[in-house]
Chains A and B, each alone.
Chain A
Amino acid sequence: MSVELARNSTNLFDQLHHEIDRFWGDLFDYDVRDSSRPGSLACNVWEDREALYVECELPGVSKDRVDVNFADRQLTIRAERSVVRGDDETEHRVERVRGELQRSIHVPVDVQHEALDATLKDGILTVKLPKAESIKARKIEVK
């Protein structure tokens, strides 16, 4: 069972009709999932002439808890967000996803392996996969 990571989308003006959240919400507001398997990560993929880009949201995940692997045309992103609570802490609302997250994406084009790049900033991971020279679009001059 995959984790629903998509946020509620709300038109700005719909806010007028929404009741303010109570501070103490229902204790578990997120989809209960089978924690024995990693949850799924939502990804955006785009390209320009130079490279392919894969982006996903990993708020609260530090660099050392993210693993980006590329092998055999498969890009695999693994991340873990652990939330530790002290004995004197009581949880009143739990919505944020915690635990292991993973996603594998098949990359159908040739990329420059040695130039792969991944940056994590403000909770967003962006992986850049530069295209191999041979597959880049090029203009052929007609003589």
Chain B
Amino acid sequence: MTTKATTPTTSMPVKADAEKPRRCFIPKTDIVETPTEFVAEIDLPGARRKDTDVSFENGALRIHARVEIPERTSTRSLWREFQVGDFYRSFEVHEALDAERIGASLEDGVLRVTLPKAAAATARKILVESK
């Protein structure tokens, strides 16, 4: 597994028609490796499937989720310990992946991204044939 330094890539796409800046957080992520794939589990509390974008391009896995702050009219906040906002995070992946088969699912506020290893990367026993 390589850990060479990478130059920072550009940030998430910004819409041309200037939107009011939205609060954005870096979601906590667990990354696990199995013999056939990598799995990233990302906490995105409050995110919905339709507002969550996952993309993989040039070796970079990008996650962006828009979380709508609920409209609460005639309410009064009494105590605030956490803020609600969008999520954005990107990961540089130096491993060989089968990009076509990258999958993602969102359940109970957790995004699970599965990144299958490229066939060449999974160890294979090569049968030595006798002639």
Contacts and interface: CB of A to CB of B under 8 A. Distances in A.
Contacts of A18: 8, 11
A143 interface: no
Interface in B107-122: 108-110
A92 B32 contact: yes
Interface string B32-67: 111100100101111110000000000011000000
B91 A20 contact: yes
A118 to B, nearest CB: 15
A122 B8 CA distance: 32
Given A10-B26, A17-B8, A85-B32, A46 B78 contact: yes
A122 B109 contact: yes
A55 B77 CA distance: 11
B108 A8 contact: no
Interface size bracket, B side: 35 or more
Given A18-B8, A59-B110, A5 B31 contact: no
Contact of A123 (B8, B10, B32, B46): B46
A49 B74 contact: yes
Nearest to A12: B24
Contacts of A95: 28-30
A137 B12 CA distance: 47
Interface of A: 5-13, 15-25, 30, 42-49, 52-53, 56-62, 83, 85-86, 88-97, 120, 122-124
26 contacts: A5-B82, A6-B81, A6-B82, A9-B83, A11-B24, A16-B8, A16-B10, A18-B11, A21-B89, A23-B95, A42-B82, A46-B72, A46-B75, A46-B78, A49-B74, A57-B109, A60-B108, A60-B110, A89-B32, A90-B32, A91-B30, A93-B31, A94-B30, A95-B29, A122-B47, A124-B109
Given A22-B3, A48-B72, A91-B32, 13 more contacts: A9-B23, A10-B24, A18-B8, A20-B60, A42-B82, A43-B79, A44-B81, A48-B74, A60-B41, A89-B33, A92-B33, A93-B30, A120-B108
